[in-house]
Amino acid sequence: MIQVNDKAASKRMAVLSENAQYFEDNSSIMDEHKKEKVVGVSYRVIDAVMEAGDAAPATPIGINLPNSNWIRSTIGSKSVSLGNIVAAYAAAGGSSSLNEFYMDEATRARIKEHGKLSGKMHTAMHEVIGHASGKINPGIGTPKETLKNYSNTLEEARADLVALYYIYDQKLVDLGLIPSLEVGMAEFDSYIANGMMLQLRRLDEGENIEEDHMRNRQLNASWAYEKGLADNVVEKKIVDGKTYFVVNDYAKLRVIFGALLKEIQRIKSEGDYEAAEALVEGYGVKVDAALHREVVARYESLNLAPYSGFVQPKLVPVMDAEGNFTDLKVEEEGYVEQMLRFAEEYAFVKPGE
């Protein structure tokens, strides 16, 4: 990545790093799984200027390093948020998907007003305090060893749940990071709708969910939906043949997210493979075929792509008569045209060679 630092946003988000110990101490996880001292959590916001390799044309919205669990626990971690990418994703869907998948005007208005901020805060807390939280019991191997093929899904689920638990917390208002708990409500609305329905648009008919982030979102949303059925915390409504998931009680939903966070941290801390398998396979993999067909049909009517790709700026140097560099122009180029040009200019083996 070629990047420009967003110093103002980084300064605001440094508040999360500075209060990392508060979030650990007040988490819903068991006390024996909390870190006594959260170390080395850093966070920056950047704007991506150009990307290549694994970051293009489909880009991450955040980066958390290192992957090594022992380095994280003893030295710390570094998180980077791609601010302009987060903003672009938020703007890409426009209002058409909002009107299609959220039933009442109050919810749509709240997401319009607070959705961009709630998305940024969720990403920040996922990366900074989510991945940095919790500890493994003495004598237990790393999650890669104990939880095996379920470790990545549960780690992403755990980090998401930390963000969800705290985005509806007065502490964020007190720290000046959000104006009100309406931001948390907007994130709950968006997360439940995406985990239960919206992300299914990315699958072909008959497919199970294989990607870790998608598994994590369905796991968290569907577990919360099931556990809240008795109190109607999240309600499934069908109106004119269209399915909606409506959050009725945000405070209770936060408690449910906290309970799942506690259980997933226990699974990670104790290396409980059987519980990991039951949770992921039971809630994160299988797809409701009828709901899937409905979501795909509703999205097709909106003419929105299920995935987003980014066009890199075409930078053209301006030279003077003596061949000296004098300026840099940014030229427009379509996505298809760019992919074809890259294939021609940067192929390992060019035609005729």
| Alpha-carbon distances, residue 308 vs 92, 138, 164, 293, 304 (angstroms) | 8, 43, 24, 21, 10
In this structure, of 42-51, 144-153, 238-247, the range with the lowest mean pLDDT score is: 42-51
Q: Assign 70 a pLDDT band (cuts: 50, 70, 90).
A: confident
pLDDT greater than 70 at residue 143: yes
Q: How many domains does the chain have?
A: 2
Q: Assign 93 a pLDDT band (cuts: 50, 70, 90).
A: low
Domain hosting 336: range is 314-346
Domain-located, residue 257: yes
3-state SS, 77-101, equals EEEEEEHHHHHHHHHHCCCHHHHHH
Position 94 scores a pLDDT of 64
Whole-number percent of the chain with pLDDT over 90: 72
Position 335 scores a pLDDT of 92
Q: Assign 43 a pLDDT band (cuts: 50, 70, 90).
A: confident
In this structure, of 27-31, 202-206, 305-309, 342-346, the range with the lowest mean pLDDT score is: 305-309
Question: Same structural domain for residues 150 and 271?
Answer: yes
Domain-located, residue 308: no
Residue with tokens 């710390």: 76
Domain-located, residue 353: no
Question: Same structural domain for residues 260 and 332?
Answer: no
Question: Same structural domain for residues 341 and 223?
Answer: no
Residue with tokens 């669990």: 69
Find out whether 283 and 219 touch, Cβ atoms under 8 Å: yes
d(CA 254, CA 171): 14
What is the side-by-side order of every strand in the sheet holding 2-5? 2-5, 41-50, 77-82, 62-65
Tell me which long-range contacts 340-349 makes (C-beta under 8 A, separation of at least 24): none
Question: Same structural domain for residues 12 and 73?
Answer: yes
d(CA 224, CA 260): 8
d(CA 136, CA 129): 16
Position 351 scores a pLDDT of 65
Question: Same structural domain for residues 218 and 338?
Answer: no
Question: Same structural domain for residues 321 and 214?
Answer: no
Position 330 scores a pLDDT of 92
Structure tokens at 338: 């760019």
Question: Same structural domain for residues 146 and 214?
Answer: yes
Domain-located, residue 96: yes
Question: Same structural domain for residues 126 and 220?
Answer: yes
For 91-111, what is the mean pLDDT? 87
Q: Assign 230 a pLDDT band (cuts: 50, 70, 90).
A: very high
Express each pLDDT in 238-266 by its tens digit.
999 999 999 999 999 999 999 999 999 99
pLDDT greater than 70 at residue 353: no
| Alpha-carbon distances, residue 123 vs 5, 118, 167 (angstroms) | 17, 9, 11
Question: Same structural domain for residues 74 and 115?
Answer: yes
Domain-located, residue 351: no
d(CA 56, CA 64): 17
pLDDT greater than 90 at residue 106: yes
**Residue 162 neighbours by CB under 8 Å, 6+ apart:** 23, 27, 125, 126, 129, 130, 133, 261
Neighbours of 325 (CB within 10 A): 9
For 45-56, what is the mean pLDDT? 91
Q: Assign 89 a pLDDT band (cuts: 50, 70, 90).
A: confident
Question: Same structural domain for residues 188 and 62?
Answer: yes
Question: Same structural domain for residues 217 and 247?
Answer: yes
Q: Assign 156 a pLDDT band (cuts: 50, 70, 90).
A: very high
Domain-located, residue 307: no
Domain-located, residue 341: yes
Find out whether 38 and 21 touch, Cβ atoms under 8 Å: yes
Whether the link from the prior residue into 57 is cis, omega within 30° of 0, is yes
Domain-located, residue 30: yes
H helices of the chain, where?
Answer: 7-18, 20-25, 69-74, 83-92, 96-101, 105-125, 143-146, 151-167, 170-174, 182-196, 212-227, 250-270, 273-280, 289-300, 335-346
How far the first Cα of the chain sits from its last, in Å, is 30
Mean per-residue pLDDT of the chain: 92
Position 11 scores a pLDDT of 86
Question: Same structural domain for residues 326 and 286?
Answer: no
pLDDT greater than 90 at residue 88: no
d(CA 100, CA 265): 35
| Residue 91 φ/ψ, nearest 5 degrees | -85, -20
